Chains A and B, each alone.
Chain A
């Protein structure tokens, strides 16, 4: 564990915490523009967080301590997730503690807690949201795992840093398995981040919402933490996508100069990704909830086919 390693670990964490709301703001801005609306400023998510943190928290009278604990725990999970994903550098001291499977476990832990917290108050919307969230989760989680396995089959490792290092050094060729995995990953990340066509981050129409129904009872600092965690999740997913499919520009061990270059590279890649996300969201329509299993089932199958192609073609 070198000093540079610790520095790049801290840098990655701080970057994630600071950039995540900005990414959300950027996507929202593009969405508004593409839909011919006047967009809120880029910094709107920060203003929102500041406002929420200032407010007094209103908690339902019979809420248990699980309800009050959950936002901190979910925030903690997402912060750890964004710390172990190689965003800027692959020299991360925390990375051996959790590999790709543990990362999926981390997302699952956060999902279980947000669902339990939503069920705690015992309102109709909360339990409905919890059920839908778990429905999306049980299909998206294995699909994400299969996407990561496609990459680890190629690189012979489930460690995220090792995957990125190996993928960044191969010659520029299109692996058919990664292509399939890429499509599957896009579908999964739309579902997992509560985006159109699975969920609509803007909606407050009871019959369609998933993520909003889960956090309906939260206010002030609890809500702020959950919103921040949601944008961290979007950031983390974007970074997984970049790490798997566009791994270039990430600094490696003993390369301090590359670390300096990695940050603008990351911002550029994220900006492109955010624009693409806004376009996908604008171009598609929200699905009925019972179409979602089909959508995610397709993603799961695509990823499994990717894995099979890997074995068949023997591209080690």
Chain B
């Protein structure tokens, strides 16, 4: 059989299209079997997961191949779909395939009968979403890009609204849609500038254009605005903590793990590939926005008391860190320092892929916990490690990866980022040179705070005593859920332990974007990660892990050999307090309290303290996002006022409307005549 796009031979691009078509067919099958719950769960979702694995394999092989292009006779006349599969697309396809394989397997066991949208419809929306994101990273003209981008936005909107009977979820979905479309407007305008009045919207044409510094900067700022809104970069982050908790957990996992990265893909494509003459302050802008988002995200995530909101804020933090890496890379690139640019870009790409795995894992774990207990508030959980070990231990791995601890992928990314900050001295501008150490200090602070958040997340949910009676009866995850989570855990582990192999995958990407790579230093020593030179820095996670485990094992064996291993179970000691209740533990609020106190100016906080004479004393604290009051509500009020003025035109009488048409016609004629 010959390929559609290239008669004669099958190329990688065809295989990706096969996966896309297969996903669409699975979605259709879901519609046909609208309410046949077992069929959708046990057949369709696992089939989707199989195609994800296929996509992963194709992407792995395409990463090292030369770029492939295809023109599909779809779309409008004269406007066919241009597709292109290069190393950057392949990297993102790998990310999509790897994460969605685990999440689809998890979803097979996740959806329950009689919850919100019928299962067949969810299956359709889910697979259309997957197909559209796979096409976004392959789009090679602005038209197809916007079509699949909007398909992605709509399918994800319906997934967020899966439980649309709850009013908060409807609000969250509306906010998400609004921000997505304001962002899409920015992207559309950006493409309009990039084609530079040639009328040709293919990316190949955009690469040829050299915009003036002013219009180039406008295009860049529009891209940062448009893609930043989708990625949750400050100040357009407000939809993220609303939409993530609203969506069903497997879909929150895909949104946070994959969709945010696709937005960053867009930023990367425009800033490094489509725009030609980079200017230094673009990098500084991106770094500043990134650091602000990261600090804001991590500080807010420490004080959250709802598990999915906590993770959503943590996603804002991670996206911020990735943007910082991208910004640094752009800064170096604009000064022609390609090797350092490649280092920072590798750090950002590494962070993207490891965040995709660990954050999807954590969102899946919240889904399993919510199913088992019916609770999403941290204050009502606790002690689940004893009833749900299959969820708790994989989550622990995800938590360690998210906290940026060795030997997991998150640490490698942070390590690379700090390395690229540390060797910055030598930038042409003294001011920038000084700024860089301060930024490195902030990154270190953010990384340490994320450890705090993760200890809170894991400790409050899984450790301690159950805070509610019913938690004793919580059931463990099913087999499909376990398989999905273990797949994601193995991803986190591989990313942490084999950085050189992962970086080898990124080398074609950095080579094509900034004309330099790291892999030549990395491949000399297959165990050691050596980004610059041996004397400067090296890190070997596998040896690191072996060292800790060897010491662990030796201590374990020697204690038993030299002494003994006797143990007795007794009631907890707790300084001799005879009775202990679960309510004496720290609550989620309590765990966040020091951070609330230290970072007080960040929050808009309302606190109600009981007085000594209250008959029914209670303590209440609410923490809100100040940006909501400083930015969103004023803008909303302004829009409302403007629309009221515009509304005055609206009379509801046909004669008046005809009058408007007549007036418009006259004005147009006057203009045209001249």
A268 within 8 A of B: no
| Chain B residues whose CB sits within 8 angstroms of the CB of A131 once the complex forms | 586, 590-591, 593-594
Q: Quick check: is A62 within 8 A (CB to CB) of the other chain?
A: yes
**Binding site of B, secondary structure by majority: helix, strand, loop or mixed?**
helix
Interface readout for B355-390 with A: 1 if CB under 8 Å, 0 if not? 000000000000000000000000000110110000
User: Interface size on B (CB < 8 Å)?
Assistant: 86
CB distance from A64 to the nearest CB of B (A): 5
Contact B548 A76, beta carbon cutoff 8 Å: yes
With CB as the reference atom, state the residue of chain B lying closest to A213: B575
> Which residues in A have their C-beta under 8 angstroms from that of B415?
101-102, 105
* Chain A binder among B104-112, B316-324, B536-544: B536-544
Instruction: Determine if A159 is an interface residue (Cβ-Cβ < 8 Å).
Output: yes
Contact present for A122 and B570 (CB under 8 Å) = no
A220-238 vs B, CB cutoff 8 Å, 1 = contact: the mask equals: 0100010000000000000
Per-residue B-contact encoding for A81-98, CB less than 8 Å = 1, 0 else: 001000000000010111
- Are B569 and A61 in contact, CB atoms less than 8 angstroms apart? yes
Instruction: Choose from B411, B464, B594 the contact partner of A135 (Cβ within 8 Å).
Output: B594
Contact present for A62 and B567 (CB under 8 Å):
no
Which residues in A have their C-beta under 8 angstroms from that of B386? 62, 64
Point out the residues of chain A lying under 8 angstroms from B419, CB to CB: 101, 158
| Given A66-B385, A131-B590, A138-B452: A109 touches B405 (CB 8 Å cut-off) | yes
Give the CA-CA distance A145 to B538 in the complex, in Å: 16
Within 8 Å by CB of B537, from A99, A132, A145, A316, lies A99
Cβ–Cβ contact B434 & A97, under 8 A: no
Q: How far is the CB of A33 from chain B (nearest CB, A)?
A: 30
Q: Are B552 and A142 in contact (CB under 8 A)?
A: no
Is there a chain B Cβ closer than 8 Å to A6's Cβ?
no
Contact of B574 among A73, A156, A157, A217 (CB under 8 A): A217
Instruction: Report whether A96 and B594 are in contact in the complex, using a CB–CB cutoff of 8 Å.
Output: no
B535 touches A159 (CB 8 A): yes
Minimum CB–CB distance for B476 against chain A, Å: 14
Binary flags per residue of B394-428, CB closer than 8 Å to A gives 1, else 0? 00100010011110000100110011001101000
Distance, CA A76 to CA B423, complexed state (A): 31
B575-A125 in contact (CB<8A)? yes
Interface membership of B556, Cβ < 8 A: yes
Find out whether the CB atom of B586 lies under 8 angstroms from the CB atom of A58.
Answer: no
Among the listed A72, A77, A162, which residue makes an inter-chain contact with B556, where contact means beta carbons less than 8 Å apart? A72
| B437 CB-CB contact with A under 8 Å | yes
Q: Is the CB of A290 within 8 A of B441?
A: no
B50 interfacial contact with A, CB 8 Å: no
For chain B, residues 545 to 595, give those with C-beta under 8 angstroms from any C-beta of chain A: 547-552, 555-556, 559, 562-575, 577, 580, 582, 584-586, 590-591, 593-594
Determine how close the nearest CB of chain A comes to the CB of B669; give it in whole angstroms: 66
Q: Distance in Å from the Cβ of A164 to the closest Cβ of chain B?
A: 13
A293 at the interface (CB under 8 A from B): yes
Given A60-B572, A120-B464, A134-B456, 12 additional A-B pairs, CB 8 A: A56-B566, A58-B567, A72-B556, A76-B548, A99-B537, A120-B385, A121-B464, A122-B465, A126-B574, A128-B586, A158-B422, A310-B437
* Pairs A-B, 3 closest by C-beta atoms: A122-B464, A76-B551, A142-B444
List the interface of chain A (C-beta within 8 A of B).
Answer: 53-54, 56-62, 64, 66, 72-73, 75-77, 79-80, 83, 94, 96-99, 101-102, 105-106, 108-109, 111-112, 115-116, 119-128, 130-132, 134-135, 137-139, 141-142, 145-146, 149, 152-153, 156-159, 162, 204, 206, 216-217, 219, 221, 225, 290, 293, 300, 303-304, 307-308, 310-312, 316
| 15 A-B pairs with C-beta separation under 8 A | A59-B567, A62-B386, A66-B385, A76-B551, A105-B404, A121-B464, A122-B572, A124-B586, A134-B456, A142-B441, A149-B422, A152-B422, A158-B536, A311-B436, A316-B425
